[in-house]
Each structure stands twice: as C-alpha cells, then as structure tokens.
Amino acid sequence: MHVLSVSSLKGGVGKTTVSLGLASAAFAKGLRTLVVDLDTQCDASTGLGAIGEFETTVVDVIKRPVHGVVHKAILPSTWNKSQPSRIDVMVGEPLASAYDSPHPSLHDLWKLEHALSVVEDDYDLVIIDTPPSLNGLTRSAWAASDRVLLVAEPGIFAVGGVRRAMQAVDEVHDQLNHRLALAGVVLNRVNAAFTEHEFRQTELAQIVTDALLPINFPERAAVQQAQGAARPIHSWPGEAAAEISANFDRLLDLIQASLTEVARKRRRGRTARRAPEAEVKQSFFRRKKKGD
C-alpha cells in the first residue's frame, strides 16, 4: 500500500479537485483506492458521494485509531456503482479542526499512520486530502505518507507558499518520517491566455526547478459538474472532461513511478515503516498487528 498526501498552504487552489482527479484516475486504472478526508471542509467526502451525517468519521479515528473505529469510518463511494473497481472514503468531519493544533504531540502525529496499518492489505493506494495549513492534521498525514504532492495556482502568493511547503516536507522527512519525499508541484487553474499566469509559472519553475511537474490543469466547467454530481471525472462526457482525465492519468503515472522507488527501497530494508523508537510501543504496530 502506498500513501500520498495532496497538500497546499493556500485555500482555494483546487487541492481537493486534484485529490479527486487522482482518485478518479486510480479508480479507472483498477487500483483499490482509499481517500482520507482530513480537510475540515469535507469536500472530498461530498465528491465521493458521502453526504449527510455519519456515526463514525475521521475525528473518531484521530481520537482512537483502532480496528473497529477505523473500519466504521470508511464507507464505499457511490462511484463504485459505475464500474467494478473499488474506491472508499474515510469520511471527513468539520470538528476535525479541534485536532489541527499548531503544536501537536509526537504521539498525536502517529495516530493516522497507526490507523492506516489496520487497512494495510486492503488498498493499493491511499490519497489523503489535507487542510490548507501546516498544522497537526497535515503533519500527521505526512507522517503516514510516502510522498507529498503540492498543489499551487500561478498567482503572486504561489511562490512563497510552495517554498515554505517544500521546506516543511524536508523537516518532516528529517525529524519524523525518513521515507517521506516530495512527489512534485502541480499547477491548477491555469489560464494560458493570462500573461500573469505565464509569468508566475516561469518564476515558479526557476525556483523549484525539477520539482515543478510537466502537467498543469486548466479551469474547466466539467470538473465542477462531475464533482457536483459525485461522479469521477473519467466518467463525465465531453472533450473537456477527456482532456482533464488524460492529464490526471499522466499525473498518476508520474506519482506511481516515484512510489515504485519507495517499494524498491523497502525491499532492500532501508526505509521500513517504523515510528521513532520511543513511540513504537504506544502508537505504532504496522505490519505486526491487525486488530485491537
């Protein structure tokens, strides 16, 4: 199982749109996929058809990441009705904001990793839609992840935000999760007719160099229409949806190539999943224990 966090430091850049687009590409490819909705707006849950009030959500998982709670918080997406592939969602909850501390404890940072150990054998890919911040929820997602994909828009605030996020990924790698690395930076809501967008894209490329992925996403009504209907973009009709879907397929291929590197290193025994030694006994039993 590979784990990818989709993150940004700025709201409104379409981070959830990218999360759902990648989920759609994985679903179309037949990958067993879980989307973890850590964003307190819960838009990923809505886009996957999880609408309403639920007895168990990601908040319960954060409180008590044990077998029974984790499984109750995961629901099948309504996308599953369209084809025999499998995609599930760990349902989001606005009250998760209470756990988005700027100074989380080490114990709290490992809770999501422990929760995902429960479903280690059930999925090929986990996509975590994180809040637009670097507080506790995002850092706990990164502690559980193999790669981080940063989403930005080609605006004046993009450059500084991406630089800070890249530095934060390095910090989490050095201090908490040595297998974590940057999958890249992807630009969303690009308008090729805007000179400002072209200028900012060039500026960002000069600063982050190879980290800027050679794929970007224009604003298309089809994306909002598919999300409003709680359908994968790959199933939406029209040329615009087909163009966006092809871009998400390419993006998923790039990310999978990066994740294959993680798998190779694991087989060599250099990046085994394990928490800091002081935390192992109380919060992390990955690959050792499946029940509570």
**Contact present, 162 and 204 (Cβ < 8 Å):** yes
pLDDT-wise least confident of 79-83, 86-90, 181-185, 220-224 = 79-83
Handedness of CA 125, 131, 133, 134 (dihedral sign): negative
- Give the C-alpha separation, 123 to 105, whole Å: 28
Pairwise pLDDT comparison (211 vs 266), residue with the higher score:
211
pLDDT-wise least confident of 90-104, 132-146, 147-161, 253-267 = 253-267
Instruction: Tell me the mean pLDDT in the region 121-136.
Output: 94
Instruction: Tell me the mean pLDDT in the region 42-67.
Output: 93
pTM of the model: 0.88
Which residues neighbour 202 within 8 Å (Cβ) at sequence distance 6 or greater?
A: none
Average pLDDT, the chain: 86
**Predicted local distance difference test score (pLDDT) of residue 210:** 85
Q: How confident is the model at residue 265 (pLDDT cuts 50, 70, 90)?
A: low
**Predicted local distance difference test score (pLDDT) of residue 163:** 87
Domains of the chain: 2-107+118-283 (3.40.50.300)
Residue 266 has pLDDT above 70, yes or no: no
